[in-house]
Chains A and B, each alone.
Chain A
Amino acid sequence: MENILLDVRGLKTYFHISLGVVRAVDGVNLCVSKGEAVGLVGESGCGKTMTAHSIMKLVPSPPGFIEEGEIWFRNTDLLRLGEQEMRKFRGREVSMVFQDPMTYLNPVMKVGKQIAEVLVSPTRDRTVIKLLESVGIPDPLKVADQYPHELSGGMRQRVLIAIAMANDPPLLIADEPTTALDVTIQAQILDLIKTIKTEKGTSLLLITHDLGIVAEMCDRVYVMYAGKIVESGDVFSIFEEPLHPYAQGLLRSSLSIAEFRENLETIEGTVPNLLDPPSGCRFHPRCPMAMSVCKEKEPSLIQEKPGHEVSCWLYEKDGRDRNHS
């Protein structure tokens, strides 16, 4: 297991608010190997971003607390590190690209300075220009001297990527890096991330709700629902043969140019309120294949095929028997 870079085990991040406890991340296991691209997909509000923030230990606290779990990065459990040591990790070992390039850049600071700020090396100015060049910015000298509002959305996202890659971190977490961009720019940014990944051998944890992006970018996928991982496996097996009804629904409701459909299929209902999640399997109120056992007991994550895990009663021998009896 030398190859594993990031290993998250049983992560639970809860928010204690006046109404009760929100279980935003509830026992998530995931790992990322060296040089691997891993996707984390799910609907809005299912805990994807909070998983990422927990890995960086950036959960706003209070009210958020990481209650349980281990986050192993190489041979260190990040959850045991103090704030001081954690700070050295951020940016150097793990770094992050965010969703909205507008709000994640400081409006009153020139772009070049924002990049220089995170650099550890002393040869700042030249490195800044090099970084801007490496993310495909045409006139790096000029851009370095501009403010974020003078750049387009795509350019801003490139700058954010330049900042994230400034210290060559082995792991890059990209939290919906293309959601705020229009489609053509999306493709360019994804290409850029791909290039960086292959050139530098950076591992990637890509958080998105867009299955198309996952199919294009990732080696393995985790499907998340209501704070839990419901299915994981390599991209091909999940796209070929999704096991969990939620994953099946997600795939069916995604658009494809190849086939014309009169009506787009949807998954009925919305993500459950994590203050008071449904009993048993959290997907059962929306699941077309729900059985009586789903309401009562939570399914565990079982390995259905090599490298392809699912958490659903349909695949548990035990569960099927109970349903028929």
Chain B
Amino acid sequence: MRFYQFWLRFRKNRAAEISFYCILVFVSLALLAPWLSPYDPFALGQRPFLPPQSGHLMGTDDLGRDTLSRVLYGTRVSLMVGVLAAATSLIIGTAVGSVSGYSGGFVDELLMRATEYVLVIPRFFLALLIVAMMGTGITKIVLVIGFLDWPEIARVVRAQFLTFKEREFVLAARAMGLKNWEIIFTEILPNAIPPAIVVGSFLVARAILLEAGLSFLGLGDPELISWGMLLSDAQERIWFSMWLAIFPGLAMSLLVLSINLFGDGINDVLNPRLKEK
């Protein structure tokens, strides 16, 4: 029932609703990639540089591999990196923000200065440096992005804790003898999570772009197909076989746009007051 109310309010934002369906489509494509792909994405074909046609809906690349199959498999990597990296950020950011906001004082100062420090580092270049030094690999990429993208979450969660820890129900909880960790986890955190989820959804989009950037520069996981890698392969031949760039590019733009609009939609539902202004 409550979920249904949420859905009704969410649907008022048409763009967000459509984005939600788009994301659903991307997720199912990623899950079903092995069955949907017409060809093995790694199998070399006989005819390179075929333009889009029946049989090869998105054409083939320099080694005759089917672009459609490769884009489908790329969806898996992009979504996985996006979601896992954002989840990592969400966990780190929530932990830092909760402790910082609840304890205040010296601990707060320390954690917030650390957060700001991470925030001012140019993320992409640091990620580049770390991946270049530690070697590529999907787990490393996820962790690097996750460990660089948490400051926004931490700040949002901290701000929530600052307001909620002064609220009467927290005082009441203390008057009933609840322990500090109980107050953090059961009283304040459930109130602090919704805005963090909204920021988290934007982080998914950003992590996808960051991973694409890394792959584009050749620092992606060489054993997996990612959209960034497809774009990177396509750039040399963009003038005579532009479909190689167009399809992965379109897929990426559409997914990132959908995730951002979806996040906006969630935000509208969770903070209705912001929208009235």
Contacts and interface: CB of A to CB of B under 8 A. Distances in A.
Interface string B156-176: 000000000001110111111
Interface in B175-190: 175-179, 182, 186-187, 190
A91 B191 contact: no
Interface in A89-111: 89-92, 95-96, 98, 100, 103-109
Q: Do most interface residues of chain B lie in helix, strand or loop, or is the interface mixed? A: helix
A58 B171 contact: yes
A160 interface: yes
17 contacts: A87-B179, A89-B177, A90-B175, A91-B178, A95-B175, A95-B176, A98-B172, A100-B168, A103-B169, A104-B171, A107-B169, A108-B191, A109-B187, A117-B178, A118-B178, A163-B172, A164-B176
Contacts, number: 63
Interface in B136-156: none
The 3 closest A-B pairs by CB, nearest first: A91-B177, A90-B177, A91-B176
Contacts of B169: 103-107
A109 B177 contact: no
Given A103-B169, A107-B191, A117 B186 contact: yes
A106 B176 contact: no
Contacts of A117: 173, 176, 178, 182, 186
B177 A108 contact: no
Interface of A: 56, 58, 87-92, 95-96, 98, 100, 103-109, 113, 117-118, 160, 163-164, 166
Contact of B172 (A87, A89, A92, A160): A160
A183 to B, nearest CB: 23
B171 A88 contact: no
B179 A56 contact: no
A164 B172 CA distance: 9
A98 B176 contact: no
A58 B174 contact: yes
B175 A96 contact: yes
Contacts of B179: 87
Given A106-B191, A108-B191, A109-B190, A118 B168 contact: no
A58 B175 contact: yes
Contact of A96 (B172, B187, B191): B172
Nearest to B167: A103
B107 to A, nearest CB: 16
A95 B173 CA distance: 10
A60 to B, nearest CB: 8
A49 B190 CA distance: 29
A98 B175 CA distance: 10
A58 B168 CA distance: 12
**Highest count of chain B CB atoms <10 Å: which of A103, A106, A107, A117:** A106
A91 B175 contact: yes
Contacts of A96: 172, 175-176
Contacts of A90: 174-177
Contacts of A107: 169, 191
B168 A109 contact: no
A106 B177 contact: no
A250 B190 CA distance: 45
A169 B40 CA distance: 70
Nearest to B164: A106
Contacts of B174: 58, 90
A63 to B, nearest CB: 13
A192 B187 CA distance: 27
Contacts of A100: 168
Given A56-B175, A118-B176, A98 B168 contact: yes
Contacts of A118: 176-178
A11 B168 CA distance: 24
Given A96-B172, A164-B176, 9 more contacts: A87-B177, A98-B171, A100-B168, A104-B169, A106-B187, A108-B191, A109-B190, A113-B186, A163-B176
